[in-house]
Structure 1
């Protein structure tokens, strides 16, 4: 549903969500109750997907509300590295 903006002469701008075409030209202000005129504003159109929006929102949110990690990483089995490579192409590389 679209979001319509209204400007209250006494308070400020407020938003009302109503079905398309059902929004009236005047709406009473939720704070003071005065009649408010509908404001003409730019539509909120976007061509990005919801996954992109979630990524953008989480990036903005992490700037002001970073997640704090307590504790250390769990210990796993120690990894053993191979002393040599089994890739035949690595034989052509220069040796130290």
Structure 2
């Protein structure tokens, strides 16, 4: 069995498991029953979690068109971590 990826214009991507070589150019979407076209993807990348896939897409897009920075970011406020009583008398650097 092989996993084939299809893209519905209405519901997005979904996977179908079929015998090797039995995948057609399009199948019906399981959600809306519209025709979904087959998407050619690299092996095993179809199982990439959506959040990771979105992060990889954003990283690739920022390589091509990075965000324009109009000012230097402000410094973050450093919060004082609570001091453990055993370390309270140690010298500070």
Higher normalized strand content (fraction of residues)? 2
Q: TM-score, normalised by structure 1?
A: 0.45
For the pair shown, which has the larger CA radius of gyration, 1 or 2? 1
Q: TM-score, normalised by structure 2?
A: 0.46
